[in-house]
Amino acid sequence: MESSIEDLIDRSEIDDIEAILSVSNTDVDAVIHTVRSNYDTIFTWNYEKGSKPKLGRLYEKAKTSMWNAETDLDWSIEVDQEKLVQEQQLLLGPPLHTYVDLKGTPLATWGDKEWIQLGVEGQNWTLSQFMHGEQGALVCTAKVVESVPWIDAKYYGSTQVMDEARHVEVFAKYLDTKLSGHYPINAHLRLLLDDIIADSRWDMTFLGMQIMVEGLALAAFGFMQAMTTEPLLKKMLKYVMSDEARHVAFGVLALQDYYQELSAPEIRERQEFAFEAAVRMRDRFLQQEVWDRMGVAPKDVLPLTLAAPDRTAFQAMLFSKIVPNLKKLGLLDAADGWLRTKFTELGAIQFEDWADTEEEYGMFQLAEGELKLVPGKG
């Protein structure tokens, strides 16, 4: 039985602000979060490599592309967050208060100090969500190694577990030593990670994490890497992106043949899962926690920020790595193009003919010798 939009995202309208804001964390101070998962752990006694040669090549590339967060990045670099915010405002264009009438809103009395602090909190929030998402990827990839049935995929998956541990480590260190505060995991992101982990089917873990979450992360990291003027963050994101591109390519390679074997109802279920994941990831970028910390009710200001002319383009760009991969997997046009229609409504279908990540991941790889960045280290 096909699900309605309301069944999938708990609201009938995608842009229902009240419904989006009703999803919030109730245990923000909790350190441990448990998700029950029931899936088969698969051993294979066939150890012969090469049945999936593209995965084998990805594995070999991963083995020679490891970097060390402690020794390959220059942590002596000082970060001035306020200066960084001001520089980014120049790159990104005029801030909201210069072209929107804020009379009668909680922002009407804000001066430069408050707008700069908003930018600082936005940095803290963004890097915090990157960190939480990378822990989600760490847990999901450990599950993949257990549940995927091919030895080539287990070999490669084991390298991604190490990659994800390194990503969690590097974002946590940057937050602790260079920025000015952590944020708890966004409720929409946590719900998505919970759904991915709780599903018993190995391919749903691939679809949710490798294609959707990692695909969006690759686009978001690329945007931030291009925009930031901070050298440590710029280099750090380049390293992370070199790993993430392999991870998304892993998802495409693992699912491409498998999805050709599934029935129409099974494919439709995966289309719906991809759409639900896309909406949850889109919802989290409203940054409601930042407005809360600034002492402003999100519902009073989000209609203003959503109306910003660059907002739609930014949201669409986040799916630039996802849509081509879904097309390559056959999910975009299956079932009379149901998912194509949904991504058209999300304003992201224009990316469908961009290169998929299996084709382009080589462009993200680090150049020879680039792992030795800090003199006397590494």
Binning pLDDT at 50, 70 and 90, where does residue 225 land? very high
How far is the C-alpha of 343 from the C-alpha of 278, rounded, in Å?
9
Structure-model confidence comparison of residues 54 and 164, the more confident one: 164
Is the per-residue pLDDT at 324 higher than 50? Answer: yes
Quote the domain boundaries for residue 357: 50-364
pLDDT tens per residue across span 113-158: 999 999 999 999 999 999 999 999 999 999 999 999 999 999 999 9
228 found inside a domain:
yes
CA 265 to mean position of chain CA atoms: 27
328 found inside a domain:
yes
Instruction: Give the CATH number of the domain where residue 339 resides.
Output: 1.10.620.20
Is the per-residue pLDDT at 49 higher than 60? Answer: yes
pLDDT reported for residue 376: 33
pLDDT reported for residue 377: 36
350 found inside a domain:
yes
Domain count, the chain: 1
Binning pLDDT at 50, 70 and 90, where does residue 356 land? confident
73 found inside a domain:
yes
pLDDT reported for residue 312: 67
pTM equals 0.91
376 found inside a domain:
no
Q: Where does 178-230 have alpha helices with state H?
A: 187-198, 202-205, 214-227
194 found inside a domain:
yes
Residue 369 falls in which region: left (phi positive, over 0), alpha (psi -120 to 50) or beta? left
pLDDT tens per residue across span 273-308: 999 999 999 888 889 999 999 999 999 988 887 766
123 found inside a domain:
yes
37 found inside a domain:
no
